[in-house]
Each structure stands twice: as structure tokens, then as C-alpha cells.
């Protein structure tokens, strides 16, 4: 009886290992051709979409459809003594507060390969409740990378583990 139980436990352990390997194999690495960063997308649903504009080329990331989750990454140069939390709130006050139904949420510390601050907010678009989750990641004393996620409020809340995983994987290219 004990041999049978040991065999069952071994089979269960192997199944768990196989499913874990499958889950990590779904991660999609992305390295920017024009910027100095790399990140990992948590599933094949997330796609990198190049969007050229008049000045330079940038990439947006979409989780299937844009309302399901949308990410835009940008680099900001700040003063050497800038407090990241103050910078995040100043940006929200300057750029986000004009969105219809804008309500700022709480901010929180964030730790990944780069540490920083996360700011949450809600707004409406076309009568639909939307949300934003913005990661301000400190690369060095003067450089901040901003990972700005938006989507339908309930969808963005459901994929918060994915937005956190993307932000944790964000790194500078060597």
C-alpha cells in the first residue's frame, strides 16, 4: 500500500512540474530594437505592436484586444533629486486628471528588477468604466521608465498579476 501511495505522489509531483514548465514556457521575451529595455510578456495573448509616429518608432503591447489590456512604455529624464512618488502624482495631475470621471487611487511601492512606485486610477471612456495602472521604475538617479497600463476596469483588475509580472521582468539591456 505504501508503494502505491509513493507512486501516486511521484506522478502528482511530475504532473505539477510539467505544468509549471509549461506555464513558464508561455512567457514571451521582448527586447526593444529602438530603446534600451527588455521585458517578458506573460502569455501569447500579449502582442507587441509597432506604432511609428512622426518623430520616432515606439511599441505598444496589447492583451488580445486593447480594452482587455494595453501597455505603453516610455522613458523620462528627471532631476537628480526627484522623489518618485511626487513625480507620479505630478504626472497624474498634469496628464490624467482631465480624463472624464477621473478618480485617483492609491499609490504603492513596487519592487522588481527595477524598483519604483505604482499609481492606480479610474476614469470613463465612452460611458465604460476604465482603469489605469502606472509603474514608475527608477533606472538610475535621472532616468525613470513609465509602464502605463489601461483597460476596462474589471479586465485590468483581473490581469493585475500579469501587469505586475511584466513590470517585475522589466530590465535594461546590457
pTM recorded for the entire structure: 0.82
The CATH code of the domain that includes 117 is 3.40.1000.10
Of the pLDDT bands very low, low, confident and very high (cuts 50, 70, 90), residue 5 is low
Q: Are 72 and 148 in contact (CB under 8 A)?
A: yes
pLDDT, average across residues 134-139: 96
Does 103 fall in a domain? yes
**DSSP letter string, 75-139:** EEE--TT--HHHHHHHHIIIIITTSTT-EEEEEEEE-SSS-EEEEEEEEEETTEEEEEEEEEEEE
Does 18 fall in a domain? no
Q: Which residue has the higher pLDDT, 36 or 155?
A: 155
Give the domain extent around 146: 28-172
Does 106 fall in a domain? yes
Q: What is the pLDDT of residue 59?
A: 85
Does 66 fall in a domain? yes
Q: Which residue has the higher pLDDT, 24 or 54?
A: 54
Does 75 fall in a domain? yes
Q: What is the pLDDT of residue 54?
A: 59
Amino acid at each position: 500500500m505504501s508503494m502505491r501511495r509513493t507512486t501516486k505522489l511521484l506522478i502528482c509531483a511530475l504532473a505539477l512540474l510539467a505544468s509549471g514548465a509549461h506555464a513558464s514556457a508561455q512567457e514571451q521575451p521582448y527586447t526593444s530594437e529602438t530603446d534600451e529595455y527588455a521585458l517578458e510578456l506573460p502569455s501569447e495573448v500579449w502582442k507587441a505592436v509597432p506604432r511609428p509616429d512622426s518623430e520616432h518608432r515606439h511599441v505598444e503591447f496589447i492583451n488580445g484586444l486593447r480594452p482587455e489590456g494595453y501597455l505603453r512604455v516610455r522613458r523620462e529624464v528627471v532631476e537628480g533629486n526627484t522623489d518618485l512618488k511626487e513625480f507620479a502624482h505630478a504626472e497624474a495631475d498634469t496628464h490624467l486628471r482631465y480624463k472624464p470621471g477621473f478618480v485617483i487611487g492609491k499609490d504603492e511601492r513596487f519592487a522588481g528588477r527595477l524598483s519604483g512606485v505604482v499609481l492606480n486610477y479610474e476614469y470613463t471612456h465612452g460611458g465604460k468604466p476604465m482603469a489605469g495602472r502606472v509603474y514608475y521604475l527608477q533606472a538610475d538617479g535621472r532616468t525613470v521608465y513609465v509602464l502605463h497600463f489601461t483597460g476596462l476596469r474589471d479586465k485590468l483588475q483581473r490581469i493585475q498579476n500579469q501587469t505586475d509580472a511584466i513590470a517585475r521582468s522589466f530590465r535594461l539591456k546590457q
